[in-house]
Amino acid sequence: MGALFDWVNHDTPILTPCPTSHLPNGLNIPAGGICPIDVTTAWVYLGGMKLFVGLGNPGAKYAQNRHNIGFMALDRIAEDHGFSPWRNKFQGLVADGKLGGEKIALLKPETFMNNSGQSVGEAMRFFKLDSTDVTVFHDEIDLAPAKLRVKAGGGHAGHNGLRSIHQHIGPHYDRIRMGVGHPGRKEAVPGYVLRDFAKAEAEWLDDMLRGISDGAVELAMGDSGRFMNAVALRVAPPRSSKSTPKPKPPAPKQDKAVASPEKDSRSPLQKLADKFR
């Protein structure tokens, strides 16, 4: 578990209790002592933390791309859980807040996808985090749209953002794999993930993002099962081919049959005579 510092501005020196002996910039103050930070802008220690990272590309041009679903997830968490405004730090945008009893920093790297690790590595080193304190939200083409999986460690499966993070902090971090579907051909993947979600996908996308926000506290507390349950409650499962079809409505009632005409009792001769009358 790493340490969380908050960026504050002061016109006078800061005097604040120190709950730890480890502070940035080489300051070593006994736990519980006073931390004299004689600067006008400083990081103030706030305690243990975790880092949630959303992957995407910066700028309005990419905002609604499938590749930016990680950014979208963090935006939803920040809005729903009262996080601080986004600030420029670590070659990205950072917001901080709490999920349950856990202090969380949200990070959206602005290095573009292929260099995401630069931003993540900088933040992780500053906060003195282990890679296991990091959770990365990203698009996953090997999962159907609206499907979500939690994964601890492992390979990058060709995802350029994850590849970059591997290079800077190693593979031992958690991932939230958010399914966006596959275009069908490998050569079509770059164009597919860099296109906006279709209008027809808006409903399941909103459900997934709301589900992630619903389960964010459980995720922060390390309960991935309850986190996934929260997402499942929002995302309607696809109809199974084995589902019992709805019963057909009853056929409308038919009118009672008309009574048969009375039997003709006339003789053949009488019928012939009646015909020529």
pLDDT tens digit sequence for 221-238: 999 999 999 999 999 655
pLDDT of residue 88: 97
Counts of helices then strands in the chain (DSSP H, E)? 8, 10
Q: What is d(CA 158, CA 7) in angstroms, rounded to the nearest whole number? A: 36
pLDDT of residue 264: 65
- 212 vs 256, more confident: 212
Q: What is d(CA 137, CA 121) in angstroms, rounded to the nearest whole number? A: 16
Instruction: Say if 250 falls within a structural domain.
Output: no
pLDDT band with cut points at 50, 70 and 90 for residue 267 = confident
Q: How many domains in the chain?
A: 1
The residues annotated with a catalytic role in the active site are: 67
Mean pLDDT, rounded, for 112-130: 95
Instruction: Say if 70 falls within a structural domain.
Output: yes
Parent domain of 151? 48-234
What are the pLDDT digits (tens) for 80-112?
999 999 999 999 999 999 999 899 999 999 999
Q: What is d(CA 37, CA 14) in angstroms, rounded to the nearest whole number? A: 5
Mean pLDDT, rounded, for 245-269: 53
Q: What is d(CA 33, CA 18) in angstroms, rounded to the nearest whole number? A: 5
- CATH no. for residue 87? 3.40.50.1470
Instruction: Say if 275 falls within a structural domain.
Output: no
pTM of the predicted model over 0.75 = no
Instruction: Say if 206 falls within a structural domain.
Output: yes
CA angle 234, 236, 238 (to 5 degrees): 155
- In the chain, the percentage of residues whose pLDDT exceeds 90 is 65
pLDDT band with cut points at 50, 70 and 90 for residue 250 = very low
What are the pLDDT digits (tens) for 174-204?
999 999 999 999 999 999 999 999 999 999 9
Instruction: Say if 1 falls within a structural domain.
Output: no
Instruction: Say if 254 falls within a structural domain.
Output: no
Instruction: Say if 2 falls within a structural domain.
Output: no
Alpha helices in the chain (DSSP H): 69-80, 116-126, 160-169, 189-193, 202-214, 216-220, 224-234, 268-275
* Cα dihedral value 57, 61, 63, 66, nearest 10: -80
What are the pLDDT digits (tens) for 12-34?
333 344 444 334 444 444 444 44
Instruction: Say if 25 falls within a structural domain.
Output: no
